[in-house]
Structure 1
Amino acid sequence: MNKMISASLVSLSLLMSSASFAAQPASADKAAAAFNVDKASFVKAVTSSNAFEIESSKLAEQKAKDADVKKFASEMIKDHTMAGEELKKAAKLGDEAPVMSPKHAAMLEMLKGASDQDFEPLYIDMQATAHMEAVSLFATYAKGGDDAAVKEFAAKTLPKLEMHKMHVTKLVAAH
């Protein structure tokens, strides 16, 4: 009798677990956004992140030793400057200078104070983290944002950020 009850419970458990897997979306691309981000929060986060990407990359152009890191920094300046301009248009922002969050400002100060030996690994690490955060933020807003023009900007910019993330991952591996 106990074996029969145990077998029934195992069967029921397997049935329930397979039913819950069937309810899962086919891929993350088809899943709903993990959380919603309002336009003001998205714009604030993106303008701060962009300012950090540009300013830290200007430092990297000066302080980095390796050509591949300098090339990456140059790409970051070009691409994030362009993204900043596109965000201004999409979100109908004025020409005021972007405000860096305390987190990004502190990260930039750490880079400014880094020794020549520590600068490059710190820059690469910060870029890797920044791009993981950016990809997540842009993917979330592209799926669940509250402003159509800014959602379109997020969706259009996301592939470039994913490319940056792959590039910086290669830098992590190389250094």
Structure 2
Amino acid sequence: MKKTFTAASLALVLLAAPLSPTFAAMPASSDTAAAAFNVDKASFVKQVTSSNQFEIESSKLAAEKARDADVKEFARQMIADHTKAGEGLKTAAKLDDAAPALSPKHAAMIETLKGASEQDFQPLYIEMQTVAHMEAVTLFATYAKGGDDAAVKAFAAETLPKLEMHKAHVMKLVAAH
């Protein structure tokens, strides 16, 4: 009985107490929040071209080496969508036709995939895709909100929903495998 009274008393005190500003303020939605950090056009383009090329190259390996049909299908979709995204970036950023260069990080990841055993390849690919799409969604959302080039900013905003779909799809693969 005493515990019930104490809990009820505590509930009344909490309800009667004015809310502190810390609790009263609700965070802004991500649609209206300012970008977490600013990324300039050159940095964005460099990161995106490497990441995009990683997506394509790793997915070509997965289309051949993955064990399960759903992972192979995901890989084929990544090749198609990221090839299209690469063309969109090239147009928006007015890039030449030079082959995109992989960053040392992405090049090492490709080499790791190439050297992975048959048993280890698929889980490693899924893990790398998960991380890559989390990073891509953050980068594109940031540039779409605070980018310094209108055409590239529009490209980022237009591409973001597709990347969010990829992220959701890869999370389903994580759950399934």
TM-score in same-fold range (> 0.5): yes
Count of equivalent residues: 162
Structure 2 counterpart of 1:93, from 95, 101, 107: 95
- Distance (Å, rounded) in 2 between the aligned partners of 1:140 and 1:44: 15
Shift of 1:153: 0.2
Match of residue 33 from structure 2: 31
Question: Structure 1 regions of 5+ residues with no counterpart?
Answer: 1-6
Structure 2 counterpart of 1:119, from 110, 118, 121: 121
Q: Using the aligned pairs only, state the percent identity.
A: 75
- Distance (Å, rounded) in 2 between the aligned partners of 1:163 and 1:142: 17
Per-residue Cα deviation, 1:67-110 (whole angstroms, up to 9, x for no partner): 00000000000000000000000000000010100100000000
Shift of 1:156: 0.2
Alignment of 1:95-174 (within 5 A): 95-174=97-176
Structure 2 counterpart of 1:62, from 44, 52, 64: 64
Provide the secondary structure at the position in 2 that maps to 1:97: coil
Shift of 1:15: 2.7
Return the TM-score normalized by structure 1: 0.89
Structure 2 counterpart of 1:15, from 14, 17, 20: 20
Return the TM-score normalized by structure 2: 0.88
Question: Structure 2 regions of 5+ residues with no counterpart?
Answer: 1-12
- Distance (Å, rounded) in 1 between the aligned partners of 2:80 and 2:160: 16
- Distance (Å, rounded) in 2 between the aligned partners of 1:101 and 1:17: 42
RMSD over equivalenced CA pairs, Å: 1.3
